[in-house]
């Protein structure tokens, strides 16, 4: 029995989620951190490559596997074709027969559960957007998004450093991404105009 877990941000811890999969019966767990909108899932590809007919893949929740109904259906079909059962912690086990087929009832339940998982994610996004829109109009000095990675005196030091160093040297010295550096340099140029 293999487990797979994904968290959406680098700040999230995998420890609790890995423990949960062990409690669900996973002997080996593949884990990774990446946004649900990202296509690359190297650890998920690894677990898919080791699964054999008769194995069970365990995930805590359906949206930890793939974010969309279409994507989840594709993965479930791929597992069924290989004769691999899928256990979803908060739903149950979708077992495959020797031919890799689900019962008609299991197919219907699979489609419904995936639809609800996508609906739940869409509702979270909608609530977040509604909250931000409200805050923009009702909260003085509201600033959306994350706090800047680098600001104040540290920002000035970085910009001065960048004036005489390369992009690679600057991002390494200040432990920031190239995108953050480019954005801050562009902001400085816009202020100078």
Per-residue pLDDT tens over the stretch 44-92 = 889 989 999 888 899 888 777 776 667 777 888 888 888 888 888 877 7
Domain around 173: 152-188
Q: Is residue 111 part of a domain?
A: yes
Determine contact, residues 24/89, Cβ cutoff 8 Å. yes
The catalytic residues are: 8
According to DSSP, the residues that pair with 92 across neighbouring strands are 88
User: Are residues 168 and 83 part of one domain?
Assistant: no
Determine contact, residues 34/6, Cβ cutoff 8 Å. yes
pLDDT of residue 104: 75
Determine contact, residues 32/41, Cβ cutoff 8 Å. yes
User: Are residues 96 and 13 part of one domain?
Assistant: yes
Residue at which a domain ends, from 104, 121, 138: 121
Q: What is the pTM of this model?
A: 0.56
Q: Is residue 34 part of a domain?
A: yes
pLDDT of residue 115: 80
Per-residue pLDDT tens over the stretch 105-146 = 777 877 787 787 778 788 888 998 898 888 889 988 887 776
29 — phi, psi (to 5°)? -120, 130
User: Are residues 100 and 183 part of one domain?
Assistant: no
Share of the chain above pLDDT 90, in %: 7
Q: What is the CATH number of the domain that holds 109?
A: 3.40.50.1390
pLDDT of residue 149: 74
Domain count, the chain: 2
pLDDT of residue 46: 92
Instruction: Please tell me which residue, 166 or 103, carries the higher pLDDT value.
Output: 166
User: Are residues 109 and 164 part of one domain?
Assistant: no
Q: Is residue 140 part of a domain?
A: no
Could you give the 3-state DSSP secondary structure of residue 103?
A: coil
């Amino acid at each position: 029995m293999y487990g797979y877990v994904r968290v959406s941000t680098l700040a999230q811890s995998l420890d609790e989620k890995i423990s949960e999969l062990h409690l669900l019966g996973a002997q080996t767990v593949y884990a990774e951190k990446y946004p649900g909108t990202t296509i690359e899932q190297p650890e998920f590809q690894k677990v898919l490559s080791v699964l054999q007919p008769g194995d069970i893949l365990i995930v805590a929740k359906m949206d930890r596997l793939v974010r969309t109904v279409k994507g989840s259906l594709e993965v479930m079909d791929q597992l069924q074709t290989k004769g691999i059962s899928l256990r979803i912690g908060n739903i149950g086990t979708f077992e495959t027969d020797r031919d890799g087929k689900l019962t008609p009832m299991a197919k219907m339940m699979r489609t419904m559960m995936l639809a609800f998982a996508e609906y739940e994610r869409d509702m979270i996004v909608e609530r977040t957007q509604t909250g931000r829109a409200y805050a923009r109009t009702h909260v003085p000095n509201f600033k959306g998004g994350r706090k800047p990675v680098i600001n104040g005196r540290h920002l000035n030091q970085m910009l001065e450093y960048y004036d005489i160093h390369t992009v690679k040297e600057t991002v390494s010295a200040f432990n920031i991404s190239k995108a953050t550096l480019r954005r801050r340099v562009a902001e400085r140029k816009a202020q100078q105009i």
